[in-house]
Amino acid sequence: MAGEARKDDVGKKLFDSRAAASLVGELRGAFASGTTRSYQWRESQLKGILRMTDDRERDIAAALRSDLGKPELESVVYEVAMLRNSCKLALKELQHWMMPEKVKTSLTTFPSSAEIVSEPLGVVLIISAWNYPYLLSLDPVVGAIAAGNAVALKPSEIAPATSALLAKLLGEYMDNSSIRVVEGAVAETTALLEQKWDKIFYTGNGRVGQIVMAAAAKHLTPVVLELGGKAPVVVDSGVNLQIACRRIIAGKWGCNNGQACVSSDYMITTKDLAPKLVDALKNELEMFYGKNPLESKDLSRIVNSNHFTRLTKLLDEDKVSNKVVYGGERDPTKLQIAPTILLDVPRDSLIMKEEIFGPLLPILTVDKLEESFDIINSGPKPLAAYIFTNDKKLKDHFVKNVSAGGLVVNDTTVHLAVHTLPFGGVGESGMGAYHGKFSFDAFSHKKAVVYRSFMGDAAIRYPPYTNGKLRLMKALLGGSILGILRAIFGRS
């Protein structure tokens, strides 16, 4: 029950609402001391994350291997290196990000100056996902620390090895008075969500996103929701099919075996191109993962038995099971599903209604590629959308008319690596954005400040109000120099 200590089977006291309230109180005390606001503290904590990542790279890769069967190259490139780059960028730009931004003022406040001051929000909660459990836990933490906040991090219990490692390492490398890790599952997350935070950053699925947003609404807490959706990839004729297929495979099966929010969820191409596209995908998949991909060491496994069962249910639906043109092999003992391509699946099938989040790639065919835009826009807005084409008119139409968190032309997923771009969703794929400066901004309040002296005090502000004052005030608010002169000299 809420507020009561609970114990597990071995008598260990679990994290409940009372413990959550105590944690928040401790973090608020640390934030109120002013320690986290200083540049020196922010710099030292960012350097701590960087040092931790460098020192313990092998431990991190081992934890990711334990949780997901993730190949070392994927662990290093997509988690360790990306986090390292995020820290380095924040350290390089931090002083610049912290500087007030000078802005122009208007005639109505003359003489004056103004600026926008970035101040930390306070005490923030970050709830991370299991598919990239190191990166998606710490990348938002980098932004929160850079902005000067105290932080509580809740890693995903579905990646227990990485969760335990994060709790251990942050305890060793970070300031534990201001940065804390809470391990656990639904009960612990619920206890945390009952508290008042200054911001909640959640990465995961839309169902839990609704729960997070409802809990935040009770305290009017702002949220960033990094969700997902069915990311489409449109393939036009006239492109280099080998390169296109390699890039599609890298963004689908090379990203955690499809267990990524920006992985291609389905493909759309023309009826004429479909056979060639399928053949090209088969050839490249065999080159990458061999004739028996279930034996490949370069494919991550499905994270757990629940997700394995969910994916096999999508694959075994009556209206879909006969649409497999490549792959479909599975091994429940190893939680492995081979890269699988399905052709001409019905749009009302489960696989086209749900986010797949796995190694299955259905292909829809159309007579004209322009039809693909209507298909995409008929569903919820995705987190990412991709197109392969050399047709400038088609590219422009795609960018102008397809609404998604981010778009990539002639590749997939690479927009994540561009730190000058915001990464986030739109509509059901999420709200808010981060990466680079956008991470700093996500955890900052932009405070407006106006500075005035005691000079230039205008009588027109004060009673008694006259018609002359009214004319002059209208002119001032209208910003017209000519109007101001006419008001002053009484000319019509």
> Which residues are designated catalytic?
226, 261
Q: Is the CB of residue 147 less than 8 Å from the CB of residue 137?
A: no
User: Edge to edge, what strands does the sheet with 324-326 contain?
Assistant: 324-326, 340-343, 360-366, 266-270, 232-235, 384-388, 406-409
According to DSSP, residue 380 is labeled: P
Q: Is the CB of residue 447 less than 8 Å from the CB of residue 117?
A: yes
Q: Is the CB of residue 38 less than 8 Å from the CB of residue 195?
A: no
**Coil/strand/helix, residue 145:** helix
CA–CA distances in Å: residue 65 to residues 10, 57, 70, 96, 335: 27, 12, 5, 38, 13
Q: Is the CB of residue 69 less than 8 Å from the CB of residue 39?
A: no
CA–CA distances in Å: residue 352 to residues 261, 267, 400, 421, 447: 16, 11, 24, 29, 44
Contacts (Cβ under 8 Å, ≥6 apart) of 188: 14, 15, 20, 154, 182
User: What is the CB-side half-sphere exposure of residue 364 using CA atoms within 13 A?
Assistant: 23
Q: Is the CB of residue 280 less than 8 Å from the CB of residue 237?
A: no
Q: Is the CB of residue 224 less than 8 Å from the CB of residue 201?
A: yes
Could you give the CA distance from residue 487 to residue 470 in angstroms, rounded to a whole number? Answer: 9
Could you give the CA distance from residue 72 to residue 350 in angstroms, rounded to a whole number? Answer: 33
- The residue written with tokens 């969820």 in the block is 265
CA–CA distances in Å: residue 190 to residues 16, 115, 184, 247: 9, 39, 10, 40
Could you give the CA distance from residue 329 to residue 340 in angstroms, rounded to a whole number? Answer: 8
Could you give the CA distance from residue 353 to residue 383 in angstroms, rounded to a whole number? Answer: 15
Tell me the chain's radius of gyration from C-alpha atoms.
27
**Residue (of 217, 198, 216) closest to 32 by Cα position:** 198
Extended strands (E) in 31-143: 101-103, 112-120, 123-127
b/e map of 384-394 (b: 16 or more CB within 10 Å)? Answer: bbbbbbeeeeb
